[in-house]
Structure 1
Amino acid sequence: MKKTVAILSSVFLLAACQDTTDATQESVVNEESGQTQVSTVESVESEAVSSEVQEDVAYEYEINPDLYTVVPIDDADTEVVLLTFDDAPQPPNSYTLDIAQTVQDKGANAIFFVMGQFLEEPEAKEIIKTVYDMGFEIGNHSYSHPDLTTLTYEEQLAEITKTSDLVEEITGERPRFIRAPYGSYNSETEAIADGENMTIMNWTYGYDWVDGYMEEDAIADIMINAPELGSGGNLLMHDRQWTSAAISRIIDGLRDAGYEMVDPTLIASPEEA
């Protein structure tokens, strides 16, 4: 199956988000006195340390830098797939909250990759803050969705850091993952991602922008029956009405096929380095 993913992922890497143009990839925590007080302080400190330890995440997966699949680090479950949604929250009629609510209701998880220019509006900021507070990972999808390989280093840096700044302003946390528009990036993008402690994440397959699949039944069917589906699949979808309508069926179908949705918090990134 990995051979299939390797061959076919290249077809889909450069086709996504084709609302504009195609591009090629260059291969990113009872006060009392005396002894009782001392005991209370020690207890509080102990609880604080315990809470801190509980918040630390033991990463179980990493992203294959060549295939963009989710790979177990040790003996984690191999039969997983990752749900990702780009272009969130896309105006004027965003389905990001609907998608997030359905995914949460199904007991699954996902990454929402946001475009910075959408986060300039108060409503969009509220949407992303809500999605983040629901427990979803927020990823960086650039500011204005350009082909990064056509930009200078300084222009790429601005596209990426401006979006990370906005996400941090809204959520208090900078993105750990970046998805280059069109899947197109170069060594300068990689250098910026390294400097920003982010992992570059493209995808293995996606269809909801392709003619013939921009409809509920069609996208539900292909996402669970795609020839590219396999262990560690990185599934690309978007803030679209038909995707929102189909996502419950997609999750059910993936589970019926033997796959569970991986929790993005378990995927390694270099932010702790």
Structure 2
Amino acid sequence: MKQALSICGVTLISALLLSACQTTNPTASETNSMTSSLTQSNSNTTDASSDSALATSEKILEEEEIKPVEYTYNVNPAIFTIEPLNKEDNTKVALLTFDDAPDTHAVEIAKKLKSIDAPAVFFVNGMYIESEEGKQKLKDIYDMGFEIGNHSQTHANLSEITPEEQRQEIIKTNELVYEITGEKPRFFRAPYGVNTDVSAQIIEEEKMVFMNWTYGYDWEADYQNSEALTDIMLNTEYLNDGANLLMHDRSWTNEATIAIAEGLKEKGYTLIDPALIASPEREESTQ
């Protein structure tokens, strides 16, 4: 009887051991299931890490986007010079501006300026950016880092058209520029420098800044060659601190661009970055 019990005990223990061994050595099906579970767990961990990294990256970008712009200059509304907000800042600055863009030469002018690190404002006419070619030209200029201003839709004299037509001249160009660049122009330059009470009201509504100029010559017959234009732009009596230089999308201006920009630097002028010039639209968007 004891022997029988002993045999039974051994048999039982063996069965338990065998059962235990089977438990710690899963079948192929169980192994696949465990592997799948482990892979899924690792995948979830990786996804969580990726999501966390993406969220951090987006937060950084968000913070960069809402970082307030620190303006250091503004446009004198009476004489359109560029003046420092802090009187202790550099006053010997000049602003390069180009009207009637992007007609024929604006992209090439922009490339030349970019090559010598010379900032500028390109004032566009909406009629030049309605075609796919025109849109691409504007996008190219914008992507090079240049400020885009509004120079009206058709270059009409605002004093000779109705209030509603004036509104269309300004608003339509704003909409086109925004559609192409994602940014609305901050500066408005009226054709021929002719502003009206109506345009002033529209500009205020659009939170823009009027920007005429202090001098320019490239539309005059005597200066429609690069040498004469370069000479007058650098040696005119109107070249003073805060000068706001007016030029156009013209072949002779294109040829003179680098000489004018470099000449200003040689005379000790800092070519002001338009991004540093205050405007109510951007001030409000960063508050």
Query: Over residues 82-137 of structure 1, what are the superposed CA-to-partner deviations in whole Å (9 max), with x where a residue is unaligned?
Result: 000000112xxx11011001111111100000111111221111100000011001
Q: Is structure 2 residue 117 aligned with structure 1 residue 68?
A: no
Given the alignment of the two structures, is residue 254 of structure 1 paired with residue 254 of structure 2, yes or no?
no
Judged with a 3 Å threshold, the aligned counterparts in structure 2 of structure 1 residues 64 and 36 are, in CA distance, closer, same or farther, namely same
Displacement after TM superposition at 1:47 (Å): 2.3
2:91 aligns with: 78
SS of the equivalent of 2:45 reads coil
The residue type paired with residue 94 of structure 2 is V
RMSD, aligned CA: 2.1
Question: Does structure 2 retain, via aligned residues, the 8 Å contact 1:115–1:144?
Answer: yes
Q: TM-score, normalised by structure 2?
A: 0.78
- Indicate yes or no: 2:45 matched with 1:32: yes
Which residues of structure 1 form unaligned runs of 5+? Answer: 1-29
Aligned length: 240
SS of residue paired to 2:222: coil
Q: In 2, are the aligned partners of 1:143 and 1:163 still within 8 Å (CA)?
A: yes
Pairwise CA distance, 1:169: 1.0
Distance 1:172 1:193 in 2: 19
Identify which of structures 1 and 2 has the higher relative contact order when contacts are C-alpha pairs closer than 8 Å and 6+ apart. 1
Which residue of the other structure, out of 152, 160, 173, is the alignment partner of 1:150?
160
TM-score (norm 1): 0.82
Q: Larger helix proportion, structure 1 or 2?
A: 2
Q: Is the 8 A contact 1:31 1:37 kept in 2?
A: no
Unaligned runs of 5+ in 2: 1-42
Structure 1 residues 50 and 32: alpha-carbon distance in aligned structure 2, compared to 1, 3 A threshold: farther
Q: What one-letter code is carried by the residue in structure 1 that aligns with 2:208?
A: M
Distance, in Å, in 2 between the alignment partners of 1:98 and 1:38 is 43
Identify the residue that residue 223 of structure 1 maps to in structure 2.
233
Structure 1 runs (4+) greater than 3 angstroms displaced: 30-46
Shift of 1:177: 0.5
